[in-house]
Amino acid sequence: MEQLENRKTQKQVARERIISRMIRKSNIRKLKARILVVDDESDIAETIQDLLLFAGFDVETAENGQAAVDLLNGTRQFDLMITDMRMPKMDGLQLLKTSHQLRKQLPVVILTGYGTVDDGINSLEEGAYDYILKPFNTEKLLRVVRGALRNRSIQIGRA
């Protein structure tokens, strides 16, 4: 029981450190884009959510690919999706394909803790904006998010 409480405390401290570092960074450009974060590991989803919320984004999470598809089929509009590669029910690559059938202009960033060169190549060939390995650098993730959103607005402007 005590170990479980210590583990929770350690995770909370880690989340607070990330947020604290972001507070000290004054160069974060705050956008009001809506981002869908999909990860079956709730700690990772919450960490990404906290990071993006602090950076000024509206964020929703889904615990697996099927839950994400349900959100994409609903009335909510998303400007970007960040998804884990390996998840139960539907993996990130299948979610990428499905999301592009539902919303062609939705950029997708894939995160994975089990990255292979083939997975990265397949993801990019299927239309992922980027492929990032876990553990990820928070500043890099924010750079990729901003780049994907800028690219999306350019693409929509041309349409």
Residue 159: the pLDDT is: 45
Residue 121: the pLDDT is: 87
Q: Which residues contact 7 (CB under 8 A, 6 or more apart)?
A: none
Q: What is the DSSP string of 21-73?
A: HHHH-TTPPP---EEEEE-S-HHHHHHHHHHHHHTT-EEEEESSHHHHHHHHH
pTM: 0.78
SS3 percent helix, strand, coil of the chain, rounded to 5, is 55, 15, 30
Residue 87: the pLDDT is: 92
| 45 DSSP β-pair partners | none
Burial (CB < 10 A; 0-12, 13-18, 19+), residue 34, is middle
What does the alpha-carbon distance between residue 25 and residue 121 come to, in Å, rounded to a whole number? 33
Q: 3-state class of 98 per DSSP? A: helix
CA end-to-end distance (rounded Å), the chain: 56
Task: Kindly state the tokens that stand for 143.
Answer: 């750079």
Evaluate whether the domain defined by 2-158 bears CATH number 3.40.50.2300: yes
Residue 96: the pLDDT is: 95
Phi first, then psi: give them for residue 67, nearest 5 degrees.
-65, -35
List per-block mean pLDDT (blocks of 10 residues) for the chain, which spans 159 residues. 61 71 51 89 94 94 95 92 93 94 92 83 92 91 95 62
Task: Kindly state the tokens that stand for 7.
Answer: 């583990």
Residue 119: the pLDDT is: 83
The structure tokens 């997975």 sit at 119
Residue 30: the pLDDT is: 45
